[in-house]
Structure 1
Amino acid sequence: MSLSWSDVGKAIAGIAPVLGTALGGPAGAVVGGLVASALGTNNDPVSVNSAIAADPANAAKILALQAQHEENLRKMNLDYETALVTAQAGTIQAEAKSDSWLAANWRPILMLTFTFIVAVNYAFLPMAGWFGVHAAALALPPDMWDLLKIGIGGYIVGRSGEKITRNLKQ
């Protein structure tokens, strides 16, 4: 049975959400060591997961650990999310400033393509049906929706970063 600290974090998140999130983050092994110590078990994901499943009383120990370290855990999670958003924004800004036309424009082209597919499926084809024109909609795999959400989120973060930078320069 192979588990990661992220898997244990998902299991713990129902009991102690802040602790569970921290286990899934970059400091998962460090936080996992704290959990293992609190439960009196070996410092590995399998042992910690087994200890949680074996004794319902361990939930109270996990809650106590979260309460004891909640402020630090929240700060770690916030620092991680901030670093992630900053890195994503930096990548998008670097691409936008690139001398290569394709590197600077591939995201907008991809988003326009997705917008076109969504518009065809949910606006144009239904309206064409009013006039007796029936055509099959383009298939929309779930991964496309995920990519569309990420792309829109990246665009928003990038634009926000540009505005913040412009305001700081003034």
Structure 2
Amino acid sequence: MNNDKIFQKTEGRLYRFYEDQQKIKCLELECIDLGQQKERIRKDIQETNVFIEEESKSITYEERVQTSSNCTSYAERALINEIDKLEKEWIYVRKKLLKKRVKIRELEREISNIKNNIEMLSEENKRFIELKYGDKKSFEEIGQVLSMAKATAYRKREELINNIRIWINIIK
């Protein structure tokens, strides 16, 4: 493979690194929300905090007892049905939460060697990489933020990409 292709592939990996980091943050927020939902559902099940419809809307003051062949009243059946719905919802939310956590771990494994490469850089170089590939700033904007000329920013990119490429090949 020629150097231009390798350069482009390395840059692509850096762009994906920052995109994947953003995906991980979003997935973590979703996991927090799902965890809270799961806990609320669990609490509702424990407290049996469910709404039971009235058996009859008639305005009589007589106590009606309805029996059935399975020896459970309407209220008991309604309560059991509501708890079953809550348990199914709890299982659904738990599965979604587990799938999201699996996705987070997969993304973390994919980006681990690029992350390690970036961690080894100096603070100035890390900032350059973050501005260029994370924030997608132009060379002029990077030059203004880091107080360097546009030409220096181009050279810095070439140098950093080549160093990262070498370290990626060593780590593999």
Q: Same fold (TM over 0.5)?
A: no
Using the size of structure 1 for normalisation, the TM-score is: 0.28
| Larger RCO (alpha carbons 8 Å, 6+ apart) | 2
Using the size of structure 2 for normalisation, the TM-score is: 0.28
